[in-house]
Structure 1
Amino acid sequence: MRITRQTERKFNAVCYYVFCWIFAAEGFSAVDSYAQFGTIDAGEVLSMLQFALFMGLSHGVYDILILRDEMDCRSIWKSLLMRTAYFVSAICSSTVLCILLFRTKVGEGMVNEDSIATIISEFSKPAMQMSLLVFFLMAYLITFVRSVHKKFGPRVFWNTLLGKSQEPLEEDLVFMMVDLRNSTTLAEELGHVKYSSFLKDYYKLLSNCCEENRGEIYQIAGDGAFLTWPISACRKKARPVNCFFDFSECLERISYKFIRKYGRVPSFKAAAHCGRVVTTEVGNFGSELAYHGDVLNTTSRIQALCGRLGQEFLISEDLFMALPKPLPHGFLCKREGFFELKGKKNEILIFSLQIPLTTLN
Structure 2
Amino acid sequence: MQRRTRQQLRISLLIVAIAAGLGAVFGLAIAGAGDGDGETRAYARAALRGVWTGGLIAGLLTAWEYIYVNRPAGLWVRRLTFLGNVGVRSLIYLAAIMLSIWSGATVFSIEGADPFGWNAQTVIQVGFSVLFSIGVNFAMAINGLLGQAVFLNFLTGRYHRPVVENRVLLFADLVGSTAIAERIGDLGFHGFLNDVYRDLSAPVIELGGVIHKYVGDEMIVSWPDTAAGRSRALQCGIEFHALLAAAEARYKNTHGAAPALRIGIHAGPVVIGEMGDVRQEIVFLGDAMNTASRLVDMCRTLGRPLLVSEALRDAEPSEDGPALEPMGETGVRGKTRPVAVYAPAP
TM-score using structure 1 length: 0.81
Percent same amino acid at aligned positions?
Answer: 23
Aligned with 2:108: secondary structure?
helix
Answer yes or no: is the 8 Å Cα contact 2:268–2:288 preserved in 1: yes
1:302 equivalent in alignment to 2:308: no
Distance 1:52 1:273, change over 3 A: same
Report the Cα offset of residue 199 of structure 1: 1.1
| Match status 1:51 vs 2:53 | yes
Cα 1:188–1:351 change in 2 (3 A) is same
- Unaligned ranges ≥5, structure 2: none
Query: Could you say what secondary structure the match of 2:271 adopts?
Result: strand
- Pick closer, same or farther for the CA change 1:202–1:84 going to 2, 3 Å: same
Aligned counterpart for 2:99 among listed residues 57, 81, 93: 93
Deviation at 1:347, TM superposition (A): 1.2
d(CA) in 2 for partners of 1:9, 1:194: 36
Residue equivalent to 2:182: 188
Contact 2:46-2:110 within 8 A present in 1 as well? no
Aligned to 2:121: 127
For residues 117-176 of structure 1, give each alpha carbon's deviation from its aligned partner in whole angstroms, at most 9, with x where no partner exists. Answer: x99943232122111210222223333344444554565444433356532222222111
Distance verdict in 2 for CA 1:67–1:127, change over 3 Å: same
Match among 203, 206, 209 for residue 197 of structure 2: 203
1:22 is displaced (CA, Å) by 3.4
1:269–1:313 Cα contact (<8 Å) kept = yes
SS in structure 1 of the partner of residue 116 of structure 2: helix
Q: Give the drift of 1:268.
A: 0.8
Equivalence for 1:359:
none
2:162 to 168, 171, 175: 168
Amino acid at match of 2:2: T
> How big is the shift at 1:178?
0.6
SS at match of 2:277: coil
6 and 260 in structure 1: CA distance in 2 versus 1, 3 angstrom threshold: farther
Is 1:4 the counterpart of 2:6 in the alignment?
A: no
- Which of 103, 109, 129 does residue 103 from structure 1 map onto? 109
User: CA 1:155/1:89 → structure 2, altered by over 3 Å: closer, same or farther?
Assistant: closer
Which AA in structure 2 matches 1:284? Answer: D
**Which has the larger displacement, 246-255 or 266-275?**
246-255
CA change 1:249–1:33 in 2 (3 A) is: farther
The 8 Å contact of residues 13 and 64 in structure 1, kept in 2 or not, is answered as no
Matching residue within 67, 71, 81 for 2:69 = 67
Q: 1:269 to 1:91 in 2, by over 3 A?
A: same
Shift of 1:208: 2.4
Contact 1:238 1:328 in 2 (8 A): no
CA distance 1:21–1:346, shift in 2 (3 Å): same
1:58 partner amino acid = L
Match of 2:324 in 1: 333
Shift of 1:224: 0.6
CA gap 1:124/1:166 in 2 versus in 1, 3 angstroms = same
1:285 CA displacement: 3.8
| Equivalent residue for 1:283, pick from 276, 287, 290 | 276
- Contact 2:94–2:129 at 8 Å: present in 1 too? no
- Paired with 2:203 and 2:284, the residues of 1 have a C-alpha distance of 22
Looking at structure 1, the residues matched to 300 and 288 of structure 2 have their Cα atoms a distance apart, in angstroms, of 20
Alpha carbons of structure 1 residues 328 and 315: separation in structure 2 relative to 1, 3 Å = farther
- Per mean C-alpha deviation after superposition, the further-off stretch among 85-94 and 19-28 is 19-28
Q: Match of 1:214? A: 208
> Partner of 1:262 in structure 2?
255
Between the aligned partners of 1:275 and 1:26, the Cα distance in structure 2 is 47
Asked if structure 2 preserves the Cα contact closer than 8 Å seen for 1:99 and 1:119, the reply is no
**Hey, what does 2:267 align to over in structure 1?**
274
TM-score, normalised by the number of residues in structure 2: 0.84
Shift of 1:294: 0.9
Query: 1:22 aligns to what?
Result: 20
Q: Deviation at 1:191? A: 1.4
1:352 counterpart (334, 337, 343) = 343
Q: Which moved more, 1:133-142 or 1:222-231?
A: 133-142
Contact 1:96 1:119 (C-alpha < 8 Å) held by counterparts: no
Match of 2:89? Answer: 83
- What is the one-letter code of the residue matched to 1:220? Y
Deviates more, 1:80-89 or 1:199-208: 80-89
Contact 1:91-1:136 at 8 Å conserved across structures = no
Query: 2:264 is paired with a residue of what secondary structure?
Result: strand
Quote the RMSD (CA, aligned, Å): 3.2
Moved more, 183-192 or 154-163: 154-163
Alpha-carbon distance, 1:21 to partner:
3.8
Check conservation: 1:274, 1:318, Cα contact below 8 A.
yes
What does the per-residue CA deviation read over 1:293-318, in whole Å, with 9 as the maximum and x for residues that have no partner?
11111111111010111101111112
